[in-house]
Amino acid sequence: MERRMLGKTQEELSIIGLDLEKLLVSEDTYEIKRFLEKFILGGVNFFEISPTFEPKDVTAIFPINLYRDKLFIAGRSYSKSSDEIQQDIKELLAKFNLQYLDLIQIIVNTQEGIHRILGPEGALEGFFAAKNLGLVKYIGFSTNKERIALKLLESYDFDSITFPLDWMNWYTGYGRKVISKAKEKGTGIISKQSLIKKITKVNSEKGISDLLYIPSESYEEVKTTIRFSLTKPITSILCSSHINLLEWLIQAADEFTPLDIQEEKNLRKSCEELGKVFNPKNI
């Protein structure tokens, strides 16, 4: 599987990463282990873990520990204070039997969160403390708010940003400024993707669109989603998905080719009606 450099870090990540959240809720320990092995042996080296989830059986995550030196493991945290983020990092290491994290990603979607992260005794100070102890290498943030992303990118040289890169939003103008700013600063860009599709029911009377979210229903839908994101200047797609879509995900990544001009035009055209009524900046 293709790998790309994560910003200025000199770390190479597989173009597909796996958020373990949905995988770890499965009751089938053997199935979890099998899929982890399949991903790793298929070339995936990027995984994300969360302190809110833990393996029901430690044998399920054995492949993560077995191949640890070849993997890039990110942890995520909702904590904004120094003490809290250090505690999250330690919990992640303990739950998943790890010595260190390659990346800690702070989830932030409010202006108040920005102030807490960057202020005195904020998460940034906690990151430096954990880094000095050798517990984590890099720091990034994750948000689905364009204005929050731009503010954080202007405020500190984060190593990475995780942001939802969706073709339906992209062609209505959402996310372009974020990608441009991250590229300008040399920040690694990770696209958050859940392999769901938006079914739009336009309500002309109210001037809005009602969006329904359902899982992708075919390989072609998954492939289009993957090809669109990877055609943009990102490092990797961090995918949170149900087990039944993972086979398609691997296949789509292995078969990746950039969208050509006509394919881009077709996607853009399919968004025209949505763009008339849906303002993604209100997300």
The mean of the pLDDT values for the chain is 84
* The most confident of 58-67, 129-138, 237-246, by mean pLDDT: 129-138
Of residues 231, 234, 217, the one with CA closest to residue 267: 231
| For the chain, domain boundaries | 3-278
For residue range 220-261, what is the model confidence (pLDDT) as tens digits?
878 888 888 899 999 999 987 666 677 788 888 888 888 888
- Centre a 10 Å sphere on the Cβ of residue 145 and count the other Cβ atoms it contains: 18
CATH number assigned to the domain with residue range 3-278, chosen from the 4 options 3.20.20.100, 3.40.50.10580, 3.40.50.1110, 3.30.420.40: 3.20.20.100
**For residue 180, is pLDDT > 80?**
yes
Return the residue matching tokens 């992303």.
149
Of residues 108, 128, 9, 104, the one with CA closest to residue 49: 104
Report which DSSP code applies to 81. B
